[in-house]
């Protein structure tokens, strides 16, 4: 270990510098951007010491608020989760998570292999009391602002209890990151009517309606409402959530690609682009994944934030910002308090009719 000690009393982020696709330079630059935004934030930088130290020479502000934790071993995107898990003690990713487990850091941030990160985080930190499974939550752009969606792939098959826990965690996340006092929460379903969907999703809805939580449960929401901005938290199982997320990302690329082709197709199209250039740049910025970067494994005994693998320095800094906000707002405490309310409501809830 080399470098300066942490800023006393401030939040500490363990940053996996090596595992992302952008490289060490972008990761260290991201930490410097975050250090400027959050004056009390300090870092443990996990990775190859010579590479990190060379980059720190460019960022004297960051150098005074960071320690390098050396690791030669790196989890690559093609590593199987089981293989990566066996090397958790020696990789930059595993050591960042272990720093959270030991209490040396308040959160870990990595742009590496999602499956490996999930396996290491679950094995190292375990789930919170009252949480059966962690969920992967992320911010999505909407027509109004942003919304939270979970689970995005951690759990392919979920029962009613899992969905209720996801709703509690997603609402706590939205109150922290989006600053909403009572986020609107909906269960993703094939229709808005109460009799639609599986028995498990209807059972989850009944539990959420009965609980007095700091959220507004709006019932069921269909897929075409995800992007309207009328729902703050969209809850579903990991299989459906991942399909919905990838479909939304593909649709975004389709629309922007078709617009580009249309504007390049003729002189009139090029003239139209010139006239609408400001609006198109605003649209591109709104849909930029770097602007919404920072998915979180909620429900663990510690905070782990997943950045897009190819995020640039600004995008990774945004993921670090998500970690910072969750630390400051003590999101785990919020989740625990809401879970206690759910247990109380469930104990007083009659069994729903099996329709």
What HEC string does 22-35 produce? CCHHHHHHHHHHHH
Going by pLDDT thresholds of 50, 70 and 90, the confidence category of residue 284 is: low
Helix, strand, coil in percent for the chain, rounding step 5: 50, 15, 35
What is each CA distance from 307 to 30, 101, 256, 310, in whole angstroms?
11, 20, 23, 8
Report the distance separating Cα 95 and Cα 100, nearest Å.
9
Q: What percent of the chain has pLDDT over 90?
A: 46
pLDDT in tens, 2-32: 443 344 568 999 999 998 888 899 999 999 9
Going by pLDDT thresholds of 50, 70 and 90, the confidence category of residue 119 is: very high
What is each CA distance from 6 to 105, 228, 270, in whole angstroms?
10, 42, 53
Going by pLDDT thresholds of 50, 70 and 90, the confidence category of residue 345 is: low
- Residue ranges, CATH 3.40.718.10, the chain: 1-125, 126-355
CATH says 126-355 is which class? alpha beta
Which of 177, 124, 60, 160 lies closest to 304, judged by CA?
124
How remote is the C-alpha of 44 from its chain's centroid?
A: 20
Range 311-331 average pLDDT? 90
Report the distance separating Cα 144 and Cα 148, nearest Å.
13
pLDDT in tens, 183-203: 999 999 998 888 888 899 999
Range 285-294 average pLDDT? 64
Q: Do the beta carbons of residue 215 and residue 182 sit within 8 Å?
A: yes
Return all residues near 279 (Cβ < 8 A) that are at least 6 apart: none
Provide the 3-class DSSP secondary structure of residue 283. Answer: helix
Return all residues near 185 (Cβ < 8 A) that are at least 6 apart: 167, 170, 171, 208, 215, 216, 217, 218, 231, 232, 233, 235
Six-digit token string for 126:
């375990």
CATH number of 1-125: 3.40.718.10
Instruction: Round the average pLDDT of the chain to a whole number and report it.
Output: 85
What is the model's pLDDT at position 287?
57
Return all residues near 178 (Cβ < 8 A) that are at least 6 apart: 139, 145, 146, 148, 232
Report the distance separating Cα 313 and Cα 30, nearest Å.
4
Strand duo 146-150 + 233-235: pairing: parallel
pLDDT in tens, 126-173: 998 888 989 999 888 888 888 999 988 888 889 999 999 999 999 988
Report the distance separating Cα 208 and Cα 211, nearest Å.
5
């Amino acid at each position: 270990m080399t470098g300066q000690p942490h800023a006393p009393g401030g939040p500490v982020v363990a940053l996996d510098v090596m595992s992302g696709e952008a490289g060490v330079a972008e990761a260290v630059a991201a930490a410097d951007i975050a250090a400027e935004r959050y004056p009390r934030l300090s870092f443990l930088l996990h990775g190859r010491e010579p590479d990190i130290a060379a980059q720190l020479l460019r960022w004297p502000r960051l150098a005074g608020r960071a320690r390098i934790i050396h690791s030669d071993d790196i989890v690559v995107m093609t590593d199987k989760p089981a293989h990566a898990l066996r090397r958790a003690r020696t990789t930059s990713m595993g050591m960042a998570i272990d720093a959270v487990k030991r209490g040396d850091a308040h959160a870990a941030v990595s742009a590496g292999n999602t499956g490996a990160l999930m396996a290491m985080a679950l094995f190292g930190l375990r789930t919170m009391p009252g949480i059966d499974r962690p969920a992967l939550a992320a911010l999505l752009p909407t027509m109004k602002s942003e919304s939270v969606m979970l689970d995005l792939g951690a759990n392919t098959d979920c029962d009613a209890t899992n969905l209720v826990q996801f709703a509690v965690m997603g609402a706590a996340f939205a109150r922290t990151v989006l600053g909403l006092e009572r986020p609107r929460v909906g269960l993703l379903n094939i229709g808005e009517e109460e009799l639609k969907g599986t028995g498990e999703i209807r059972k989850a809805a009944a539990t959420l309606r009965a609980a007095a939580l700091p959220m507004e449960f709006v019932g069921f929401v269909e897929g075409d409402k995800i992007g309207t901005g009328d729902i703050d938290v969209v809850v579903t199982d990991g299989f459906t959530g991942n399909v919905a997320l990838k479909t939304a990302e593909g649709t975004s690329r389709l629309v922007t690609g078709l617009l580009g082709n249309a504007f390049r197709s003729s002189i009139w199209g090029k003239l139209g682009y010139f006239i609408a250039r400001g609006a198109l740049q605003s649209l591109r910025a709104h849909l930029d994944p770097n602007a919404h970067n920072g998915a979180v494994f909620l429900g663990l005994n510690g905070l782990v934030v997943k950045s897009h693998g190819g995020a640039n320095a600004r995008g990774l800094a945004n993921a670090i910002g998500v970690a910072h906000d969750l630390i400051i707002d003590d999101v785990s405490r919020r989740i625990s308090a809401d879970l206690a309310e759910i247990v109380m409501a469930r104990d007083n809830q009659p069994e729903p009719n099996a329709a």
